[in-house]
Structure 1
């Protein structure tokens, strides 16, 4: 199955790229600059493409992203600390982000005669991001079948959609994903902050999976506090 992978440069999508390369035929990685406050992760996506020996396409969506105000990922708003599932993390939503990115990726895959587009949405995203839920991915797949009817048959490949991030770490490790060469932190500093939702989720996933975490964090203790605060009293 010839497959394009949407790759942000984060742990999930780089793991997906390595898994697709092993289990299918990885054709290219696709990334997007939508005006996020830092572009650090895109560099990691480019590095993954180079290591996997496939092209890397970077689409400039900054004019579109500039119109989607109100997200801490694009506007001058603080990224909150704490576990990813907390209500405060809703400020990191960029409306319709996955729908826009996947539409572009599907157009490219169809033009190149490919069979699938893979994205690393996973079960841990469902609470906050509606365009990561199975209801969205299933509807999007049907929509693209109609949009490309008679021209191409491209399927949406979402192997993590009901999986946990720990599951991703486990399978990524099996296929040799270079976790140290992925970027998750929303704050874009010199090293992972260790406090934002993505850092807490990343640290917890390695812990649950029993896989050594090669990431350097500025705060090495906060994740434990965040997990404890999430547990029912």
Structure 2
């Protein structure tokens, strides 16, 4: 049984990736990051879900990086979280500079320390237009570097790179997953807002699969 590290935010995509890695027979280690995101509630949900699955789970505080990284509404209380569909240009304000390269680098180091063979993360086709660090060309080059960056080659696995969110959800539903164990909303309030890009895309995925989202929404 191969050991793998899964970058696990607590959102529905990474939750599906985590469960896919388990179903594929791997010994899974979940790794979450507190990078100062406003929706820090996702980390609480991640911890609860990992405990239910019996998966080892680390939450690493890297909030100090925000002294270097700016310009994202996800980490700045001064900037409003944009509402509407992900395809709109305003969603670019949710980009955290170089986030996935930073998180992958740390996860690769963790994988080396565990004698693991791979790092999994949940980039998908719906992210390609807005997030450069979710695009296939980024994944390929990051994987090339990861294979030579240490004495032990670590592959980067992105099982849903060519799938959209509705297709990811469909796979999760086929696995019998409970998406009440996830958090997607960019606003870290008690209930999901239903209006931010993350909520809109999530609700569209559930509608496309003709099932009801188990989360409660403000509106």
- On whether the aligned pair clears a TM of 0.5, the verdict is yes
Residues 146-161 of structure 1: matches in 2 within 5 Å?
A: 146-148=148-150, 151-161=151-161
CA distance in 1, matches of 2:27, 2:196: 31
Alignment partner for residue 101 of structure 1, among 100, 103, 106? 103
- Cα deviations across residues 95-147 of structure 1 (Å, max 9, x unaligned)? 10000000100111111111111001100000110000000000000011121
Deviation at 1:38, TM superposition (A): 3.4
Residues 124 and 163 in structure 2, CA contact (< 8 A), matched pair in contact too: yes
Q: Match for residue 205 of structure 1?
A: 205
CA distance in 1, matches of 2:117, 2:147: 12
Residues 3 and 29 in structure 2, CA contact (< 8 A), matched pair in contact too: no
Residues 35 and 66 in structure 1, CA contact (< 8 A), matched pair in contact too: no
Deviation at 1:70, TM superposition (A): 1.0
CA distance in 1, matches of 2:86, 2:25: 31
CA distance in 2, matches of 1:200, 1:65: 27
Q: Match for residue 218 of structure 1?
A: 218
User: After alignment, is 74-83 or 210-219 more displaced?
Assistant: 210-219
TM-score by length of 1: 0.90
Deviation at 1:54, TM superposition (A): 1.6
* Gap runs ≥5 in structure 1: 220-233
Q: Match for residue 83 of structure 1?
A: 85
Q: Match for residue 122 of structure 1?
A: 124
Residues 153-232 of structure 1: matches in 2 within 5 Å?
A: 153-219=153-219
Q: Secondary structure at the match of 2:148?
A: helix
CA distance in 2, matches of 1:188, 1:147: 36
Residues 18 and 176 in structure 1, CA contact (< 8 A), matched pair in contact too: no
- Cα deviations across residues 185-228 of structure 1 (Å, max 9, x unaligned)? 00111111000000000000011122332121112xxxxxxxxx
Q: Match for residue 138 of structure 2?
A: 136
TM-score by length of 2: 0.96
Q: Secondary structure at the match of 2:200?
A: helix
CA distance in 1, matches of 2:94, 2:212: 28
Q: How many residues align?
A: 217
Deviation at 1:23, TM superposition (A): 1.1
Deviation at 1:36, TM superposition (A): 1.1
Give the ranges of 4+ consecutive aligned residues of structure 1 lying more than 3 Å apart after TM superposition. Answer: none
Deviation at 1:156, TM superposition (A): 0.6
Residues 25-44 of structure 1: matches in 2 within 5 Å?
A: 25-44=26-45
Aligned CA RMSD, in angstroms, stands at 1.1
- Cα deviations across residues 44-66 of structure 1 (Å, max 9, x unaligned)? 11112111212111111111123
